[in-house]
Amino acid sequence: MQAALVGVTGYAGMILYQLLKNHPNVEQVHIYDHKISKNAPLSEVAPIFKNDSSVVAPYDPTTIMGADDVVFFATSSGVTSQLSAPYLEKHFPVIDLSGDMRLKTEQAYEKWYHKHSAPTAALQAATYGLAEFDSVKDATYVANPGCYATATLLGLAPLVQKHLINVKSIIVDAKSGTSGAGKKLSASTHFTEANDNLQIYKPNHHQHIPEIVQELQKWDSNVTTLQFMTTLIPVTRGIMSTIYAQVNPGVDEQTLLAAFHDTYDDQPFINFTGTDLPTIKQVVGTNNCDIGIAYNPETRFVMVDSVIDNMLKGAAGQAVQNLNALFGFSKTAGLNLQPALI
């Protein structure tokens, strides 16, 4: 197949390009950029690929739909909401790594993001693509989940789907490395601020909160809100979502362990580690989500430890999972990755 990639200069776009170049079912990757007006060498647009002879072409939806079978958008927030219409009209497959099409109403976007360019009808036509749970087989436009949302939802799914917890008691303490903020410079990600430091940011206002709640409501309509806090930690890649919730009467540790095994034992990218709590380092460089739990019978609270590589399972890797599901490829095609051991 022929794949188009719009946006190769950001971290997620660069990693996605590498994954697609090595995907057994992708014959060629065509790169497009909405900021250029004529063809340019990839080595100039993204100097990290200095030995790659590929060319980056100006963005044009007609060219993309004529030459390619699918288009990936690894663009900044606010871009694809302006570009989605022709693909939706032609039912052309899109996998969008930005947050522009994840929520279902313009009002939600204006509250959590910014003024939105796509109408509500377009938003509702997009399919949220949490790869382990949302079928994208018949989708046209796939909204790839956010990184915090992926780690948190995978940690909560067995508990919420099987109604094992009081959903009003959920508290999430999520921590991310600096690559999650993207390439744009900011005071908080400056080495002097990030190194040897922990920084809470966007308290109660992180843009991934509404998509987490939106997905949880599919599993339990009693979910109305979420206590969610984010912390920047001094690592490059990785997310740890630490989740707390009070279990319902009659639920014990064995019930909890069985629920996670039942949900995930047949999922190739989810490793349930039981009461052996995972670390970020064991998933960096992979498309895996490792999950462990600790149950306190005195407080009747369960703690879930969910870790991912934010650039892979939280972005480019999950996008390839959705590609595989969309086109009927093997679940693991292009994703046989090994962790960065040191």
* Domain map (residue ranges) of the chain: 2-145+313-327, 147-309
> Is residue 236 scored above 80 in pLDDT?
yes
Predicted structure pTM score? 0.96
Q: Which helix (H) or strand (E) holds 52?
A: none
pLDDT of amino acid 202: 86
The residue from 147, 251, 304, 315 that is catalytic is: 147
289 in catalytic set: no
Q: Which fold has domain 2-145+313-327?
A: Rossmann fold (3.40.50)
Cα separation, 7 vs 28, in Å, equals 16
Query: At the topology level of CATH, where does 147-309 sit?
Result: Dihydrodipicolinate Reductase; domain 2 (3.30.360)
pLDDT tens for each residue of 84-98 = 999 999 999 999 999
166-219 pLDDT, tens digit each: 999 999 999 999 988 776 778 888 888 889 899 998 888 898 999 999 999 999
Place of tokens 């060498």: 41
CB contact at 8 A, 21 and 40? no
How far apart are the C-alpha atoms of 128 and 147, rounded to whole Å? 13
| Exposure letters 2-20 (e unless 16+ CB within 10 A, then b) | ebbbbbbbbbbbbbbbebb
pLDDT tens column, 308-341: 999 999 999 999 999 999 999 999 999 999 998 7
Residue closest to 96 by CA, chosen among 51, 136, 45, 53: 136
